[in-house]
Amino acid sequence: MPTTLAPFRLTSLAATLLGLLGTSLCSVAAADQAPASVLTLDSTAISADELPKNALPTVFSGGQVARGGELGVLGNQDMMDVPFTMSSYTSQLIEDQQAENIGDVLLNDSSVRQSFGYGNAAQIFVIRGLPLNSDDISYNGLYGVLPRQVISTDSLERVEVFKGPNAFINGVTPTGSGVGGGINLQPKRAQDTPTRRFSTDISSSGRVGEHLDLGQRFGDNNEFGVRMNIAQREGDTAIDNESQRTKLFALGLDYRGDRLRLSTDFGYQKQRINGNRNTVYIPATLTGIPHAPDADTNYSQKWTFTELEDTYGMARGEYDLNDQWTLYAAAGAKHTREVGNYSTPTLRSTAGATTASSMFVAHDEDNRSAMAGLRGTLQTGPVSHQINLGVTGIWTEQRSAYELSGSFANDLYHPIDVAKPTVYPYVGGDINDPGIVGKTINRSMAISDTLGFMDDRILVTYGLRRQNLKVDGWSYAGARTATYDESITTPVYGIVLKPWEHVSLYANSIEGLAKGPTAPATAGGAEVTNRGQAFAPARSKQVEAGIKYDKGTFGASFGVYRIEQPSDGYVDAQNTYVRQGTQRNRGVELNIYGEPLDGLRLLAGATVMDTELSGTKNGANNGNRAIGVPNFQYNLGADWDVPGLEGVALNGRMLRTGGQYVDAANTQSIPAWNRFDLGARYSFEVEQRAVTLRANLENVANTRYWASANGGYLSQGEPRALKVSATVDF
């Protein structure tokens, strides 16, 4: 049975830390500044004009969105200088919206919609109509080192979203998802001004959270930095009979010298969800999709739970050989332990009748990841060059076991409590000692050059990445089921034209990459003729063109794109598995961000998509729309400083998403949906200490809706929830 929520109070911990650390840090800072205040001020003034080489891109007015982000082998880039599109959301936006996980942050992006994993609590991000698994999110440019399923925001400085395939930019992801785009997270770093911040929050359902954020730089030139974040939240959610507990510890250390820059990040995250409501399965025999139940209805069981524990860390270093060339390297690792008892309903009628089972899962993961490279610039006559060389490697190992009960009947709209099954006739592996079910080794090498003409008003980027994918799979009984070892080269081409000061025109051709399929052993009860055959990596291709505008205080982008990716293939009439079929997504994107008027901050966007299947079995679904791809996605968000009321701001957000098909035959679908959020905050000072009070009401109308049909199953939107918080700087 799931354990009860044990208390984990940060208040006493914060007091202890403040007593031990706060006083000493203050005294050190005072000692550093008092005898040489003039020299310190002069140094700051001189360095302010030029950011360090590894500094994050600057932020638009209003502080919600940055001008660029980490682009893998290309490093930190201003988006006006690269032929790609990206959104980069800041820690200020995270704080003002009380975003608890990265899913809350990405509600602001019109190119992104969300669903849950297949029968679990994992967040899936659908970018340009194609899914990105939470396992495939990078951390400071490095794959495979973050917690899986749900990632807290308390230790993050930036959440960066790359739009489009990115096999060249970052290499292939650990699980092969992310053809439509990628996500990179940047950790918090100590600032030149000390950080001493304590926050507490409470939701309308009674969930309470506390967050302590401490940062300090040391040394004659502030070259050493320490940033520590400790957070916890626990209590009931807005969903009936669902409760959560999350703990986080994150420590970041860095050194920034004249030529050498070093950083290390260590984190620990533990999350438990009791009574977790996740997804609803749809069988092929169902003739229609019933409407979503009440927003707070929990059609899971009280005895279900998931517990996720992640320990992770990474180190990164950069060394300037001279003013033009920089060496860099990074390495990291993580260990994940997942234990859960899941019960996901399957619809049996349009009236809401369901069946479900109890499935107990034990899952362990160990990942290692590394990257290294060389970046530099040179001049050949009137042409400038930005040259990048890089290598990456990811080593993963998964161990799993499960126990599955028989099924029991229930109802989607009026769920009843069912006793936890005691008999589990279906077993895979040893639940007390999970065996290896998969190993993956992904290695790659990349090279690129960006040529600059006419004083870099014309920038042409081209490059190649050679990728090797090696995957081994085992059954739960320990028998090897698949071996895959394939290599492929993915190119990138792009151009940026700057005809006017604030305008960039861009175009790109870039590819995505994922492990190719392996022919199954049987299909329809008969042996497949080419069983076990490993197919080449699945290559996806994108072409995109658009325009970007950066006025300084605000920016905008408009782009059109086409992405083609292979579908899963099928077994033909000769019982041979064939790698055939294509999904094509075409879209138009418009985004506006920044502060166009003093005191008015905007985050708005619109995406219109057309999707089409081709090469399907016997042509049955040719011309149909792909599963889970809306025909439109609109976002409108505004944050407004109320005139005459100093420190008071109001905000609001509207999300609108088009209908989605649940099956490839396009016979079943979910309707379009709307969601409205409202918020307010008040910032003031008490005894020269900054205080901010915030209140956010999500899903104001408590609208019930199916949020996504990604994967061919249903994910329901969250119910209405009020969040209130207070932040104090000391």
Q: Which pLDDT tens digit goes with each residue over 628-639?
A: 999 999 999 999
Instruction: Say if strands 195-203 and 208-218 run parallel, antiparallel, or are unpaired.
Output: antiparallel
- Separation of alpha carbons 576 and 579, rounded Å: 10
Residue 284 class from Cβ within 10 Å (0-12 exposed, 13-18 middle, 19+ buried)? Answer: exposed
pLDDT for residue 668 is more than 70: yes
Question: What is the pLDDT, as a whole number, of residue 51?
Answer: 57
Amino acid, res. 99: A
pLDDT value, residue 49: 42
Instruction: State pLDDT tens for residues 138-150.
Output: 999 999 999 989 9
pLDDT confidence of residue 557? 97
Confidence of residue 32 (pLDDT cuts 50, 70, 90): very low
Quote the distance between the C-alpha of residue 239 and its chain's center.
23
Q: Backbone phi, then psi, for 394, in 5-degree steps?
A: -130, 130
How large a percentage of the chain has pLDDT more than 90?
84
No. of H helices and E strands in the chain?
Answer: 6, 44
Helix, strand, or coil here: 532? coil
In the block, residue with structure tokens 């009628």: 349
Q: Hey, which residues does 400 pair with through a beta bridge?
A: 363, 435
* pLDDT tens-digit map of 131-181: 999 999 999 999 999 998 999 999 999 999 999 998 999 899 999 899 999
The half-sphere exposure of 453 on its side-chain side, counting CA atoms within 13 A, is: 8
Query: Using CB atoms within 10 A of its CB, is residue 704 exposed (0-12), middle (13-18) or buried (19+)?
Result: middle
Q: Write the pLDDT tens digit of every residue in 349-374.
A: 999 999 999 999 999 999 999 999 99
Which of helix, strand or coil describes residue 22?
Answer: helix
List, in sequence order, every beta strand (DSSP E) within 454-599: 458-474, 480-500, 503-514, 522-523, 526-527, 538-550, 554-566, 570-571, 577-578, 582-597
Task: Please compute the mean of the pLDDT values over residues 96-115 and round it to a whole number.
Answer: 97
Tens-place pLDDT, residues 519-542 = 887 887 788 998 878 788 889 999
**pLDDT number for residue 395:** 97
465-494: per-residue pLDDT in tens?
A: 999 999 998 989 888 887 889 999 999 999
| Cβ atoms 548, 557 nearer than 8 A | yes
| DSSP character string of 647-708 | TEEEEEEEEEE--EESSTTS--EE--EEEEEEEEEEEEEETTEEEEEEEEEESTT----EEE
What average pLDDT score do residues 675-692 get? Answer: 97
Q: Are 594 and 60 in contact (CB under 8 A)?
A: yes
Amino acid at 371: M
Quote the mean pLDDT of the chain.
91
The answer to whether residues 511 and 165 touch, using CB atoms and an 8 Å cutoff, is yes
Give residues with Cβ within 8 angstroms of 265, minimum separation 6. 139, 140, 187, 250, 251, 252, 253, 313, 314, 315
Contacts of 137 (CB under 8 A, 6+ apart): 102, 146, 151, 182, 183, 184, 185
